[in-house]
Amino acid sequence: MSFTRPDGRGNEDKRPLHIIYERLDRVDGSARFGFGDTKALASVSGPIEVRLAAEQPSKATFDVTVRPLSSLPGTESKALATSLRGLLSPSLILSRNPRTLLQLVVQSLTPSPIESYPPSLAAACINASSLALLNAGSIPMTGVVCAAGVALFRSTTEEDIPALVLDPSESESREAVGCGCFAFLFRTEIAGSQPLPTNDTPGARLVWTNWHVKDGTSDDGELARAQALGLAGAETIWRAIKQSVPQMDNLPPPPLPSRSTAGELGIITQSDEVSDQDMNDAKIEI
Amino acid sequence: MRPPSPSIAEKDFFFNALNQNLRLDGRELLEPRQLGISFGSELGHVECSLGKTRVLAHVDAKMVRPEAQRPFEGLITIHCELSPMAGSEYEPGRQSDEEIALARMLDKIFRRSDAIDRETLCIIAGERVWHLHLSIHALADAGGLLDCASLASAAALRHFRRSEVEVIGAREVIVHDSTTRAPVPLAMHHTPFCVSFAFYSPPGVGREPRMLLDPAGLEQRLAHGMLTLALTPQRELAVVHKAGGLPLAPESLMGAVQVAARRARELEAWLDVRVREDWGRKKVEVR
Amino acid sequence: MSVVLPGELIQAQHKNLKLGPGLQQYVDLQGRTSTVVTRAGTLEQNAKGNKSWVEGNSRRYVPAAQEPVVGIVAARQGEGWRVDIGSAHQASLDGLAFEGASRRNRPNLKVNSLVYARVSLAHKDMEPELECFDAQTRKAEGFGELKGGFLVRCSLKMSRNLLDPNYFLLPLLGSRFPLDAAVGMNGRVWLSTKEVKHTIATARCIEAADPDGGGMDQIAVKKFISTLD
Amino acid sequence: MAQSGFDRRRVNGPNESLQPVYDDGIKESNVLYKAWKPGEARRKRQAKDIRPICARHTATPPTPFVTQTVLKTGFIKQANGSAYIETEHTKVACAVYGPRQSKSSSYHEIGRLSVEVKFTPFSSLVRRVPIRDAEDRSVANLIQQALTSSVRLDLLPKSVIDIFVTVIECDGIESCIAAATVAASTSLAKAGIEMLGLVISCSGAVVGDDVWLDPNEEETQLASGILLCACMPALGVMTNVWQTGCLPLAKAFQSLQLCQERCIDIHQIAAQALHED
Amino acid sequence: MALQTQTGTSTDLNAQIFQRLHPRAYLERFIKEDIRPDGREATEWRDLSVHVGSISTANGSALVRLGDTTVICGVKAEIAEPDLERPKEGFLVPNIDLPALCGPRFKPGPPSEEAQVLSDRLASTITAAGVLPLSALCIHPERAVWVLYVDATCINYDGNVFDAALIAMVAALKNTTLPTATFNEETGRTMCSRKLRKPLPLECLPVSYTFGVFDGTTVLADPAAFEEPLLDTSISIVLDEGGALLSAGQLGIADKDTMSMCVSAAKERLETYGREIYAFLE
């Protein structure tokens, strides 16, 4: 395929992944996930006390809030929050903590159009949520949900060979003929009929599809191919998440509050520690 | 859901320590917590930390028609909603008192104090102006949320640059991409910085309350009175806000203002260096 | 020892493998059992190899029977108290679940005071229950009201570390100044020292050594302590 | 004019939008009475006629004065009772849920009748911004007033009966309230709730010397006053009267009488609709 | 089907109580017999009817019935200034209301979460499918554009409101006419002429086909209100009038094959019935 991407990536290349456990002070788990500049931050609290009106007798109430980077959340945020709740629920064993609340907040860190979250940003929100849930470690899980965005381009010059690309940037998803997000639940199937798998990646099952094509396509295989590419992307994310687990512990020691070097009022510039460039200890690039 | 109130042990120990001029995190009475800042890849995206308190501020601009009564002025909207990410006491969909107080204070500090020159946001009088959206997201509230939010806001406003625009004829407007023409920083009249103090009534009568700069979580919750000052490095006061019933002598207030003024100068200098550093990095990228 | 994620299958080598936190067993239709991971962390095994669990960290306490906890009395309730132990539901503590307590002689706990107690009942459908004695011997065994001192919060893994007699921190601090501590599995540690500054130093060391906080090792903590005095 | 602002629970349009203005200066509504002068007769129907109810769905011969209203009951599957009424352009749907347990914690000796009215945004010529406004509430109050005394609420302690009305299209607000009242009472009957009688409602507009029954939007605008009456024809009692504008006493009484007479006819239709189900 | 064939009120009542207390078991028993509680087969659709133009106060309207599910949609056209960043584009503002009237689980008040999510899905489907180019709503660049408020109301809820509402919205748009409008630069006002009304230049007429997966295996087409809460997975396939895929949405665990199966089931339905949906008489 002669299609070339603006940033020079191959069709099946992701942007660099960022996984950072944020250790936000007032929640039970938090993490940031990014595909290049497309980033989201998620926090999880729970099981905590639930309001009586939302209490469920046989399982924990799972509450999801999604917030855009700019302005106020509208129906697009509510819709993504509802999808997140639906697609993450199969990965959670909510029945273990009845009459409690599991609270997930996802903060987009990337500007998005008012109408909707582009597929890669939605995928970043999903992956950040899974990381925050893993980081909280307080709700047992059946597996891990990972997601990736896919976009479809049709070349006008050549004879109709559509190009599917993984992890489209915002501008790519705007210009693409079609785009969407696919989320998969990675878990070992324990249903009796299947042989017990021995390889290291557990089986994946589709939990969310959100695929739109602008001019319509009568090619039945296109959706399946997009889904397969999404799965390939999600698999590498699953491995990256697994690699990141040791980072949940052990930050490098914080700089000692050495008053001598600080200003008169004790201002200590911590920027090097917090800024993105120097997060190497907590970041992996794949 | 509110966090449970501090235990008797914590409360007693805190006041014992205070009597010995000791703070729980080892700070001096007038020593602030560590500051941190990081910038996003686009302009106007800043995260600040003050100890464990963290706030994200984001500024963007959109062209709109001005209000009929003020055809020469741009618009500024501040969005500030607290989510449970900041703490489980902030419930989604319900406005808490803290949220209202925070939003009001930020409005006073940045909008009503005329921090930004709104006339420079005008493109064509009566036709087109810039509408700035400042969105504040509290990521973690471990005390001093307002100070951190105002610092993040100031940083985001300083960091932000809007696209250069060119007016051709009466109505045509060309917006230049940041790659063709350098974007323009906001014209700010002044940058107010917010500094908070906690006061504790001493045992015995007639003695002045003790004062702590930049109270953290437990310090803030056990405070008998709070004082928040927003002031510019040029020693102009933008906001004075006292909460809690504790009476203060004028000297205490003046003392606090002196400390805050010094702190504002420090913050200004620090922020200036940070923003310039980041801009230096970004310019290299643009080329 | 290997890193695992929820949904991964683990191979059970031992015949009578006992499963600890983070592992769950399923039996399929053919009667085969499989063991699946339910939380992220490292897969651990005891020396005998008959016990396995996933070591991870968490901040939120989910009550488990027999675990010691530090609680804050939230309210009086009938003959006893409701106690906040950091879990979703408050625990109940009976007025008679103390050493030497009788109908006429019950301890008098004030709201917001601290207790060191053991979880006597933990079930997902019931509110947790606490007791401040050993139910067999009816002896306090160190449980009861915690007077004075200070309360420090930490991650649950730090709690487990502090309860481990081989862990360096409390002995290290104890060698420098007299220190009383009651460690709860719920991420709460009660401290008491003669001098205020020693409590502050201890609290700061716990935070610095917490894998969820500073993550310092023994050498770094030693250096850190020397800056505090 | 729709001054919506940002509503985070809906898909939003621009901050401000205006109704189209036409070059002939005529409002879209003034079609029938374009060159009408005071004193002229009612157009298209007799003063005493109401707009047709029924007949489209039933084979029964039309009642005099009342020719073609659609009144259907039981069309909302999950409701305990429901009715749909259509009189030319006015279209109202109503559902009754209950009696169900009252959510309020305090004990009430008698049941409560709760009425909620909603207008669709496209129900009138000027778009209605979909936010509950004062009109929704005052219309709900009028319907509740008309119905309350007909229901045996004394038999339903601790309960609430929810009546939900959706106005799909409204051509004359008073007639619309009357239609909604008929629909609500029919729904209550359909739900099997014990009642003293069906409540029927009719409105009359005083235009010059005439009383025009069941006025449409345009006729309402010509009227010097409008009277709305609700009654239980089976018992010969009135349950609600409401009047706007300024009317001489004699005219008011005349309107009231005409409305009541017409209610008897509508009562027949409602009863028939219930029978036919 | 033992449940339905037995007669007598007490058995009916028992079946009703059984349905209410153990909805899952109730549905399972039907599915085992390869039939659904309302008598349909697994991939059978309910009857669909579309009526347009009955609301005189709207610029266009449609009433759609899908089985008992009834959705009415009205389009109101107003005039506004365009967004300065998109000076030649009008606005299309689709919303759906699920009033308390339409079913016992809905409450009066502002839109429920369900309604918000439905509105958003409808809006993004209509936008992504390119039903109406927003440039067609331009009256005068930068000064005046049409705003089409596409408001749907569900008046009878019996499941699968998304499919019914999408058809109602598209049909109402197809039924919509706009007066010719001219912007007067001197007065800054827009004048409309009543004589010339034009239909909207719709470029695509999408239809959605929704399926649910019950018990991980059984795919049910066009789920009814009773079935909806018992489904693990919901799948919506949107096709244009030629059968080309416009969007695929799915939430909940699904196999790879399930998706393609639903796409072909949707196409089959389109072949047998879909083409006449928007062929109504104006």
How does pLDDT run across B195-243, given as a tens digit for each residue?
999 999 877 666 778 999 999 989 999 999 999 999 999 989 989 999 8
SS3 B257: helix
**Contact at CB, D9 and A73, closer than 8 angstroms:** no
Split at pLDDT 50, 70, 90, the class of B57 is very high
State chain A's mean pLDDT as an integer.
84
**Residue A158 confidence (pLDDT):** 57
Decide: B131 and B116 in contact? Cβ < 8 Å.
no
Q: Please give the Cα distance from E219 to E43 (Å, whole number).
A: 7
pLDDT digits (tens, 9 = 90+) for C57-83: 999 999 999 999 999 999 999 889 999
Residue D186 has pLDDT above 90, yes or no: yes
List, in sequence order, the alpha helices (H) in chain D: 134-148, 173-190, 217-222, 249-276
Contacts of A254 in chain C (CB under 8 A): 208, 214
Q: What percent of chain D has pLDDT over 70?
A: 89
Touch test C–D: 3 Cβ pairs or more under 8 Å? no
Contacts of E62 in chain D (CB under 8 A): none
Structural domains of chain D in order of their starting residue, each with its CATH number:
45-276 (3.30.230.70)
**Number of Cβ pairs < 8 A linking chain D and chain E:** 151
Structural domains of chain C in order of their starting residue, each with its CATH number:
2-55 (2.40.50.100), 68-146 (2.40.50.140), 150-228 (3.30.1370.10)
**Residue A157 confidence (pLDDT):** 60
Please indicate if any CB of chain A lies within 8 Å of the CB of D107.
no
Q: Provide the shortest C-alpha distance from residue D10 to chain A (in Å).
A: 6
What are the tokens at D135?
A: 């009109």
In a domain, B255, yes or no: yes
**Average pLDDT value for residue range A36-52:** 95
State whether CATH 1.10.10.10 applies to domain E48-199: no
**Residue B70 confidence (pLDDT):** 94
**Contact at CB, A75 and D6, closer than 8 angstroms:** no
**Average pLDDT value for residue range C2-21:** 85
pTM of the model: 0.93
**Residue A188 confidence (pLDDT):** 84
Number of domains in chain B: 1
In a domain, B201, yes or no: yes
Q: Which of B150-164, D91-105, E237-251 has the lowest mean pLDDT?
A: D91-105
Touch test C–E: 3 Cβ pairs or more under 8 Å? no
**Contact at CB, E103 and D93, closer than 8 angstroms:** no
Q: Please give the Cα distance from E97 to E88 (Å, whole number).
A: 29
The residue of chain D with its CA nearest to that of E82 is: D14
Q: Which of D31-40, E118-127, E195-204 has the lowest mean pLDDT?
A: D31-40
Decide: C189 and C150 in contact? Cβ < 8 Å.
no
Interface test with A, best of E92, E117, E132, E255 (most A CBs within 10 A): E117
**Residue B204 confidence (pLDDT):** 66
Q: Please give the Cα distance from A163 to C144 (Å, whole number).
A: 69
Please indicate if any CB of chain A lies within 8 Å of the CB of D134.
no
The residue of chain D with its CA nearest to that of E158 is: D77
**Contact at CB, D9 and A72, closer than 8 angstroms:** no
**Contact at CB, B128 and E84, closer than 8 angstroms:** yes
Decide: B30 and B15 in contact? Cβ < 8 Å.
no
Instruction: Provide the phi-psi class of B8: left if phi over 0, else alpha when psi is between -120 and 50, else beta.
Output: alpha
Contacts of A89 in chain C (CB under 8 A): none
The terminus-to-terminus CA distance of chain B in angstroms comes to: 50
Q: Provide the shortest C-alpha distance from residue C40 to chain A (in Å).
A: 6
Which of A280, A201, A196 lies closest to A237 in space, CA to CA? Answer: A201
| Phi then psi dihedrals of residue A282, to 5 deg | -115, 15
Split at pLDDT 50, 70, 90, the class of E238 is very high
Q: What percent of chain B has pLDDT over 70?
A: 97
Split at pLDDT 50, 70, 90, the class of B287 is very low
For chain B, helix (H) and strand (E) counts, in that order, are 5, 14
Contacts of E194 in chain D (CB under 8 A): 22-24, 26
Residue type, C226: S
Contacts of D120 in chain E (CB under 8 A): 72, 74, 97, 151, 153
Split at pLDDT 50, 70, 90, the class of A165 is very high
In a domain, B17, yes or no: no
Tokens 């709760």 sit on residue: D114
**Closest by Cβ to B17, choosing from C84, C110, C196:** C196
**Residue D103 confidence (pLDDT):** 80
Query: What Å distances lie between residue E43 and B31, C106, D158, CA to CA?
Result: 71, 69, 44
Decide: D196 and D150 in contact? Cβ < 8 Å.
yes
Residue B5 has pLDDT above 90, yes or no: no
Q: Provide the shortest C-alpha distance from residue B62 to chain E (in Å).
A: 8
**Contact at CB, C112 and B22, closer than 8 angstroms:** no
**Closest by Cβ to A265, choosing from B58, B83, B262:** B262
Residues 185-204 of E with CB under 8 A from D: 189-194
Residues 65-94 of A with CB under 8 A from D: 72-75, 78
**Residue E134 confidence (pLDDT):** 96
Residues 167-226 of A with CB under 8 A from E: 180, 185, 205-218, 220, 222-224
Please indicate if any CB of chain B lies within 8 Å of the CB of E81.
yes
Which of A166, A99, A87 lies closest to A133 in space, CA to CA? Answer: A87
Please indicate if any CB of chain A lies within 8 Å of the CB of B194.
no
The domains of chain E are located at 7-37, 48-199
**Closest by Cβ to A269, choosing from B84, B263, B270:** B270
Which chains touch B (3+ CB pairs under 8 A)? Answer: A, C, E
pLDDT digits (tens, 9 = 90+) for E154-210: 999 999 999 999 999 999 999 999 999 999 989 989 999 888 889 999 999 999 999
Burial of B96 (C-beta count, 10 Å sphere; 0-12/13-18/19+):
middle
**Closest by Cβ to B9, choosing from C84, C151, C203:** C151
ipTM field: 0.94
Q: What percent of chain E has pLDDT over 70?
A: 95
**Contact at CB, E101 and D14, closer than 8 angstroms:** no
**Homologous superfamily in CATH for domain A17-250+261-282:** GHMP Kinase, N-terminal domain (3.30.230.70)
- DSSP assigned state of C201: H
Q: Provide the shortest C-alpha distance from residue E82 to chain B (in Å).
A: 10
Residue type, B41: S
Q: Please give the Cα distance from C131 to C65 (Å, whole number).
A: 11
**Contact at CB, A265 and B32, closer than 8 angstroms:** yes
Split at pLDDT 50, 70, 90, the class of A196 is very low
Touch test B–A: 3 Cβ pairs or more under 8 Å? yes
What are the tokens at E146?
A: 């049409």
Split at pLDDT 50, 70, 90, the class of C11 is confident
Contacts of B64 in chain E (CB under 8 A): 84
Split at pLDDT 50, 70, 90, the class of A193 is very low
Query: Which are the contacts of B193, defined by CB distance < 8 A and separation ≥ 6?
Result: B150, B151, B154, B230, B231, B232, B233, B263, B264, B267, B268
SS3 A280: helix
Instruction: Provide the phi-psi class of D172: left if phi over 0, else alpha when psi is between -120 and 50, else beta.
Output: left
The residue of chain B with its CA nearest to that of E85 is: B63
pLDDT digits (tens, 9 = 90+) for E51-72: 999 899 999 999 999 999 999 9
Q: Please give the Cα distance from B256 to A234 (Å, whole number).
A: 55
**Residue A264 confidence (pLDDT):** 35
**Residue C153 confidence (pLDDT):** 95
Q: Provide the CATH number for the domain around residue B48.
A: 3.30.230.70
Q: Please give the Cα distance from A103 to A60 (Å, whole number).
A: 10
Residue range(s) defining the domain that contains residue B50: 33-286
Split at pLDDT 50, 70, 90, the class of A250 is low
Please report how many Cα atoms fall inside a 13 Å half-sphere around the Cα of residue A276, on the Cβ side: 19
Q: Please give the Cα distance from D216 to D31 (Å, whole number).
A: 12
